[in-house]
Amino acid sequence: MTSRTASELTLREWDPALAHHFRDINVEWIEAMFELEEADRMVLDHPQENLIDQGGAVLFAEAEGLGIIGTCALKADGEGGFELIKMGVLEAARGLKAGEFLLEHAIARAAQLKARELYLLTNAKCEAAIHLYEKLGFVHDAGVMERHGGDYCRCDVAMRFGGG
């Protein structure tokens, strides 16, 4: 595989024709580390209804010659906040900085959507992702854990975007 940087990636917006990429990429990483939960299935099987129609967004990273290699979503929480969810990159495409590319665009999109708060839930096993979140301005937040931590059985880390 040739060396690529985030500058050689293209951002793709939600399109129902790309829904299978959203599901497949996320199922790959979730099942590699955890078990798929009902909360996962609801979003992955019905992204239009559960994300887009509710004011959220689904973003994709595309690499020339490889196609769609990563995805993430913003889920509106109904209180002016957005949860960063389902950020994943195909294992075969790791090292192309697609996660950082997607996270930067998700942060910018949340700002465009006038998010009161941008937060995420994850697991301590996701060390590389946590490091990336911290690098781009997310901070650990007990309040987010208290308010939203019960949404997933695997969640033991909660973070909020604090700028960066």
Cα pseudo-dihedral 56, 149, 86, 91, rounded to 10: 170
Give pLDDT tens digits along the chain (164 positions): 344 455 589 999 999 999 999 999 999 999 999 999 999 999 999 999 999 999 999 999 999 999 999 999 999 999 899 999 999 999 999 889 999 999 999 999 999 999 999 999 999 999 999 999 999 999 999 999 999 888 778 999 999 999 65
DSSP state, 125? T
Q: What is the DSSP string of 2-53?
A: ----GGGEEEEE--GGGHHHHHHHHHHHHHHHS---HHHHHHHH-HHHHTGG
Break the chain into its structural domains and give their ranges.
6-118
pTM, full prediction: 0.93
Token output for 65: 């010659």
State whether CATH 3.30.70.3400 applies to domain 6-118: no
C-alpha distances (whole Å) from 33 to each of 30, 36, 123, 124 are 5, 10, 10, 11
